[in-house]
């Protein structure tokens, strides 16, 4: 990463792109410390692509259905990402399982957002599973992407109380609005500032090994401290 330049960020999406929009908005406020150089979707015509285009960001669609194997798709996807030399790759609602080869190519630079309090509820239908388990708390997590599906070191989590009246839809909306849209820009900014690193399969924030994920809202002691 070149400290005099904002970090180069590639965002991978498959759909609505609300998390992408939060990253775009943070970048426009100069809050991200990163420039989104490319948005790639594996699905044509999704709303996230329109959001990127409206913000003047380059987009590419690489439709997984055009490739005979997962390996062939991941090769083309990986080449498109590598071509723009990103410092950070953010999966934002990217609904594809990635091959180990692809993950190794970008390991340590790749983050994912997952709508659960990992390690709970890897995979799909996280909101329904939290309700079925009568959990008191639910939320979302940012983690480094490693070869284990939704299993890489978790760096930041935010949680909300599950209300007795919650349905899958209300819970999903509250997790999105109150947690997801807040935590992804914060974690990308840590990466952009060189504060967050993956070393020997362990996440480090500054000089601290993250034994447990940081919790949103953050108590940032190193930032915004008054100058003497
Ligand atoms: C988000 O809730 C994200 O956490 C989830 O997909 C949604 C995408 O919404 N990702 C996963 O489930 C990944 N396993 P968005 O496109 O509007 O940001």
pTM of the model: 0.95
Q: What angle do helix axes 18-28 and 47-54 make, rounded to 10 degrees? A: 10
Q: What is the DSSP string of 167-186?
A: -HHHHHHHHIIIIIHHHHHH
The distance of Cα 184 from the centroid of its chain, to the nearest Å, equals: 6
Q: Cα–Cα distance between 11 and 89 in angstroms, integer?
A: 6
**Cβ-based neighbours of 97, under 8 Å, separated by 6 or more:** 70, 149
The verdict on the CB of residue 19 being under 6 Å from ligand 1 is: yes
Q: Cα–Cα distance between 166 and 58 in angstroms, integer?
A: 38
Q: Cα–Cα distance between 12 and 27 in angstroms, integer?
A: 16
Phi, then psi, of 204 in degrees rounded to 5: -125, 135
Q: Exposure pattern of 44-60 as b/e (b: 16+ CB <10 Å)?
A: eebebbebbeebebebb
Atom of ligand 1 nearest to the CA of 114: 4
Atom of ligand 1 nearest to the CA of 13: 16
Q: What is the pLDDT of residue 226?
A: 45
Q: What is the pLDDT of residue 131?
A: 98
Q: Would you write out the chain's pLDDT as a tens digit for each of its 228 residues? A: 777 799 999 999 999 999 999 999 999 999 999 999 999 999 999 999 999 999 999 999 999 999 999 999 999 999 999 999 999 999 999 999 999 999 999 999 999 999 999 999 999 999 999 999 999 999 999 999 999 999 999 999 999 999 999 999 999 999 999 999 999 999 999 999 999 999 999 999 999 999 999 999 998 655 544 443
**Structural domains in the chain plus CATH codes:** 7-125+137-159+175-216 (3.40.50.170)
How many whole angstroms from 181 Cα to the centroid of ligand 1?
11
The verdict on the CB of residue 158 being under 6 Å from ligand 1 is: no
Closest CA to 18 of 168, 129, 182, 145: 182
The Cβ of residue 110 has, within 10 Å, a number of other Cβ atoms equal to: 25
How many whole angstroms from 163 Cα to the centroid of ligand 1?
21
Two tokens at 224? 């915004």
Q: Cα–Cα distance between 171 and 163 in angstroms, integer?
A: 8
Q: Which residues are catalytic?
A: 114
């Amino acid at each position: 990463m070149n400290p005099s330049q904002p970090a180069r960020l590639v965002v991978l999406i498959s759909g609505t792109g609300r998390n992408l929009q939060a990253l775009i908005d943070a970048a426009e406020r100069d809050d991200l410390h990163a420039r989104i150089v490319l948005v790639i979707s594996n699905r044509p015509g999704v709303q996230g692509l329109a959001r990127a285009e409206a913000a003047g960001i380059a987009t590419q669609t690489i439709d997984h259905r055009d490739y005979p194997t997962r390996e062939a798709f991941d090769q083309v996807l990986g080449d498109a990402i590598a071509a723009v030399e990103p410092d950070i790759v953010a999966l934002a609602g990217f609904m594809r399982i990635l091959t180990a080869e692809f993950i190794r190519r970008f390991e340590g630079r790749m983050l994912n957002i997952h709508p659960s309090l990992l390690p709970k509820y890897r995979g799909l239908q996280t909101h329904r599973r939290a309700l079925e388990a009568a959990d008191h708390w639910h939320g979302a997590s940012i983690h480094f992407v490693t070869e284990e599906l939704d299993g890489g070191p978790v760096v930041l989590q935010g949680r909300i109380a599950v209300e007795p009246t919650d349905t899958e839809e209300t819970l999903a909306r509250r997790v999105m609005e109150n947690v997801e849209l807040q935590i992804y820009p914060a974690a990308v900014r840590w990466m952009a500032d060189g504060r967050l690193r993956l070393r020997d399969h362990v996440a480090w924030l500054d000089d601290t090994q993250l034994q447990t994920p940081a919790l949103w809202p953050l108590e940032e002691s190193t930032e915004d401290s008054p100058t003497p």
